[in-house]
Structure 1
Amino acid sequence: MPFKHNASRRHHIEKTKFRVTNWPEYEAGLRRRGSLTLWLTPEALSKWYAPRRKTRGGQHRYSDLAIETTLTLGLVFGLRLRQAEGLLESVLQLMGLALAVPDHTTLSRRARAWRSAGKRPGNQVPPAGPLHVLVDSTGLQVYGAGQWLEEKHGARSRRGWRKLHLALDADSGEIVAHTLTDQDAGDVSQVAPLLDQIGGPIGQFTADGAYDGKPTYDAVIDHSAAAAIVIPPRDNAVEPSDDRPPGQRNRHIAAINSDGRMKWQVSNGYGKRSLVETAIGRYKSIIGRRLRARSLPGQQTEVAIGCAVLNRMLACARPKAVRRKAATP
């Protein structure tokens, strides 16, 4: 990365400054993110209660739409299940709607079995052309005793952490795919599940060095044969000595050996990978660093709704920033 190469002289490098060109629209969008306005269409009201099932088993009272609405309000405003139940109940009363609100036990139980209807997070319109996909992962804390308690008193800690894997559209900033696994799952193992959630073609796939290897290249090529893969090879990577035609990874190794890693990053647009790190920071600052649900299925539902919330917020307000020119002496 550039900051590693410039670490010895970074105090002499002036910080890059940007200027937002659509500030009035961006500021209005930021205010809309905190609006309490809630619209319920006649179609949503008619589907609030679950349809009568024709097979054996218990009958759900609330539809998946009602469960999703309540959980979404709780994530947006940082509320627990009981408080989300109370918020939605008061909002429906102010709207004059005689609708029952799912209680917290129903929300906890139904969240473990909730599944999205095979749609992209946030119901965004898919782009017309190939996507530039950025992939990265991060850790999310789960409920339980902390590591400090284990180290200080020798008590067994129940707190682990989950791994959130994100695939981001570099052009729109939208989260197009996500998975949640346990802490032992490798990053490379989730490349294929992420790509399976993307219906359109991929023009470029960009990730950090943790994804370097043949499994990642095979998964991307199987999805989109014409995709350009931009992953920095390991420092000790060498070009093969056989007569086989060089693949993308071999061409990257040759370019780095010839021109250097910094020039390779600029020529391949590797700097855009920072956008997925920004999306991860956005998730942790808005949705939270800790998962509220205690079971893995419930946590996966929480992450799915959280990604949809972020996409909707991004659609409300997205800054258009341009780099300021350096002042001439």
Structure 2
Amino acid sequence: MGKARHNISNWRQYNRALINRGSLTFWVDEQAIQQWYSEHHGRRGRSFHYSDSAIETALMLKTFFGLPFRALEGFINSIFQLMDVPLTSPGYSCLCKRAQTVEIHYRLPSKGAVTHLVIDSTGLKVCGEGEWKQRKHGKSQRRIWRKLHLAVDAHTHEIIAAEVSLESVADSEVLPTLLNPLRRRLHQVSADGAYDTRNCHRFLLRKGSIATIPPRKNAGYWEDGHPRNDAVAALKSGQLAEWKAASGYHQRSLSETAMSRYKQLLSPTLSLRKYNGQVGEVLAGVKVMNKVIGLGMPVRQPLS
């Protein structure tokens, strides 16, 4: 791993932010307490006893502290006892069922247009051996993964959009689903060669975004005047590295940084076995990521 060019200039604030990540009052705040129980929906039939906000908070605690559902129930009840509030935790079976249907609101409030959005995907293991057994005895056929697709703001490091898919789904197929819900202007979108398809370029053109996607090795020219032809010309002339530097493509590495941050801070594996529950578990982890980013991020700049 290369050494950073500049030191962290806000180390005191960033160090405090790292400490505050473990504060229970940061995760179970006053807003979560007030919205713990759900109000009646006003229609026929019984409503849920616990609100979506309560299930969302519980899933965030589970993801961040790495707890199974039974231990999570006891953990939340002990927090309420220490805080002396008349609340109880949802049961572990309730949490497991509601995780499959709850809608996780992981997006932060809109801050206007996004100057540069970087996109990539990574795998999260559902079941299978670890690296040690695989190295000693080889991998077995029983290995199941889910793909996490992330769209990250290159300036703030916030996760703007996230999707979960099966491992057999191509990255380019998920791009419209990933970006369609966004109502923010995207000036530039960078992604790797897996997104070098006509559908992706056509979709980003409709969004009014500049597509910074390197062509594949055997790429050919498209119709005259297409913006992709500049990258293809750089590829054929052996100047693709210069094109990447001039277009700002290297900012895409920040999406890989976000995926590494997710796996190190939370977990590279999933604990739930049903697909809908896995989606809820992953999106709760995405909300955890955005929440800790709000505490503070390191700033690297030359020290005068």
**TM-score after normalising by structure 2:** 0.90
2:121 matched to 1:137? yes
Distance in 1, matches of 2:97 and 2:159, equals 27
1:238-257 → structure 2 map (5 Å cutoff): 238-240=220-222, 244-257=223-236
Determine which of 197, 207, 212 is the counterpart of 1:230. 212
**What letter matches 2:293 in structure 1?**
L
> Compared with structure 1, are the counterparts of its residues 106 and 143 closer, same or farther at alpha carbon in structure 2 (3 Å cutoff)?
farther
Measured after TM superposition, the shift of residue 98 of structure 1 is 1.3
Which string of whole-angstrom CA distances, capped at 9 and with x for unpartnered residues, describes residues 149-189 of structure 1?
9x9799863x4111111111111101011111111101000
Q: CA deviation at 1:76?
A: 1.4
Q: Which amino acid aligns with 2:281?
A: E
Cα deviations across residues 266-308 of structure 1 (Å, max 9, x unaligned)?
1001111110000000001111010111111101001111011
Q: Distance in 2 between matches of 1:211 and 1:35?
A: 40
* Contact 1:26–1:317 (Cα < 8 Å) also in 2: yes
CA contact (8 A) 1:29 1:316 kept: yes
Q: Counterparts of 1:109-188 in structure 2 under 5 Å?
A: 109-116=97-104, 119=105, 121=106, 123-143=107-127, 157=142, 159-188=143-172
Q: Hey, what does 1:297 align to over in structure 2?
A: 276
Distance in 2 of aligned mates of 1:324 and 1:48: 46
Larger radius of gyration: 1
Specify the alignment match of 1:318 in structure 2: 297
* Equivalent residue number for residue 66 of structure 2: 78
Q: Distance in 1 between matches of 2:217 and 2:293?
A: 37
User: Residues 181-222 of structure 1: CA distance to partner in whole angstroms, max 9, x if unpaired?
Assistant: 111101000000111132101100100111111011012122
- Counterpart for residue 184 of structure 2: 200
- Give the aligned CA root-mean-square deviation in angstroms: 2.7
Q: Which residue of 2 aligns with 1:92?
A: 80
Q: Does 1:34 align with 2:38?
A: no
Displacement of 1:248 after TM fit? 1.2
4+ aligned runs moved over 6 Å, structure 1: 145-149, 151-156
Alignment identity in percent? 35
Aligned counterpart, 1:10: none
User: What's the TM-score once normalised by structure 1's chain length?
Assistant: 0.83
Give distance in 1, aligned partners of 2:11 and 2:275.
40
Gaps (5+ residues) in structure 1? 4-13
Instruction: Give me the whole-angstrom Cα distance separating, in 1, the residues matched to 2:139 and 2:253.
Output: 39
Q: Is the 8 A contact 1:195 1:220 kept in 2?
A: no
Q: Do the aligned partners of residues 130 and 207 (structure 1) sit closer, same or farther apart at CA in structure 2, a change above 3 Å counting?
A: same
* Cα contact 1:71–1:81 (8 A) shared by 2: no
Question: How far apart in 2 are the matches of 1:16 and 1:73?
Answer: 32
1:261 aligns with 2:240: yes
How far has the Cα of 1:46 moved from its partner? Answer: 4.5
Matched, 1:214 2:193: no
1:27 counterpart letter in structure 2: N
Q: CA deviation at 1:97?
A: 0.9
Native 8 Å contact 2:103 2:280 kept in 1: yes
Match of 1:11 in 2: none
Aligned residue pairs, count:
301
